[in-house]
Copies of this chain bind each other. A is one copy, B any other.
Amino acid sequence: MLRIGIINVTGYMGAEAARILHAHPEVEVVSVTGRSAAGQPLGEVFPHLAPLGLTVEAELTADIDAIVSALPHAASAETLAPYAERGVPIVDLSADFRLRKLEDYERWYGAHPAPHLLANAVFGLPELRRKEIESAKLVAGPGCHSTAGILPLAPAVQHGLIEPDVIVDSKSGISGAGRTLGLKYHFAEANESVAAYALDGHRHLPEIVQELGALSEAPVPKVTFVPHLIPMSRGILVTAYATLRRGTTTEQVRELYASFYESSPFVRVTDAPPSTKQTLGTNNCLLYPTIDEDNSRLIVISALDNLMKGGAGQGVQALNIMFGLPEDAGLRGLALYP
């Protein structure tokens, strides 16, 4: 049994990691931290996590084989640095180790607390970087919008099917904003309403650009990304739009996508437009590519659970790969439907 410590279990992402790992057959959660709640039984902070039988600690105390960190950016790198320097295997769900170039990080987040660790970090999207993750010690779990935006475009970009100029329109449930309070997330304000946000630029954009850019020799793709807040707790649906470079059929595109993700257990090309509910509580990303023939445009829908494939689930998937476990260990549950 792998002994895992979860840093910052008191947010939604950390709690979701605890929920998954509790059911993981090869893993034991042995220590969980959370600054504000240190000393409290975990079951008081999150009643559904009471069965773990743990107390929230100020710092990881137990002997551990690996760390999952769900701290906010900057705090995460700062806290993880000593562990990373000692070579403890880490899955960091924050943004701190996602961007290869320090200047990208600095533009979007400010000063980096541990830039010397960037070189060895791997962007933890297994569908694109499985090999690198296998031998990585520091994996950066991708952002939720990034996962939902990269997966529907990667096959088309790699195969040069589309112009390097795409639109990612993302619709996200409100847990994506975390557990922090805010008027926009107050039930009475968010319910029965939809709105776009971060129109001046969202921090997941550079991840999407970086990863799509890495798939082709072509110029860095231009990506317009607009996230929207949807009145639901979980789920992200991305509608991605791109101009086709050459004639192709929907059938050919579907085959290309199916083949691209052939060995990826969590990505499925669906026969009908997917709904986010079909992914609730699972680590799946459902993809539906189609062509707007009148306008020679590729449209791809992707659906996932933002806390699972868009966060903690994908982190566990990476952890499995790092430790040579089956990629889907602990992640085989079906969607809670309806």
Contacts and interface: CB of A to CB of B under 8 A. Distances in A.
A110 interface: no
A48 interface: yes
B179 A181 contact: no
Interface residues of A, number: 77
A336 interface: yes
Contacts of A237: 194-196, 228
Contacts of A248: none
Given A231-B231, A335-B48, A337-B19, A277 B189 contact: yes
A191 B197 contact: no
A280 B174 CA distance: 17
Contact of A167 (B241, B273, B286): B241
Given A167-B167, A231-B231, A295-B165, A186 B189 contact: no
Interface stretch (A1-9, A219-227, A314-322): A219-227
Contacts of A189: 277, 338
| Max chain B Cβ within 10 angstroms of own Cβ: one of A231, A237, A282, A332 | A231
B334 A280 contact: no
B301 A51 contact: no
Given A194-B171, A228-B239, A275-B195, A334 B234 contact: no
A64 interface: no
A111 interface: no
Given A23-B334, A233-B338, A334-B48, A186 B179 contact: yes
Given A169-B239, A223-B295, A334 B192 contact: no
A143 to B, nearest CB: 18
A181 to B, nearest CB: 4
Interface string A261-299: 000000000100111111011100010101010110101
A187 B47 contact: no
A186 B186 contact: yes
Nearest to A205: B294
A175 B338 contact: yes
A167 B243 CA distance: 11
Interface in A293-309: 294-295, 297, 299, 301, 303
Contact of A233 (B23, B183, B187, B294): B187
A100 interface: no
Most buried by B among A19, A49, A333, A336: A336
B232 A199 contact: no
Given A188-B233, A332-B23, A224 B241 contact: yes
27 contacts: A12-B338, A47-B270, A51-B334, A167-B241, A169-B239, A171-B230, A174-B186, A174-B187, A181-B181, A181-B183, A187-B191, A187-B231, A189-B277, A191-B231, A191-B232, A193-B276, A194-B235, A195-B301, A196-B273, A197-B273, A199-B290, A222-B295, A224-B292, A226-B239, A230-B231, A233-B338, A234-B338
In the A-B complex, list the 6 residue pairs whose CB atoms are closest, starting with the nearest. A193-B277, A48-B335, A195-B275, A188-B338, A181-B181, A175-B188
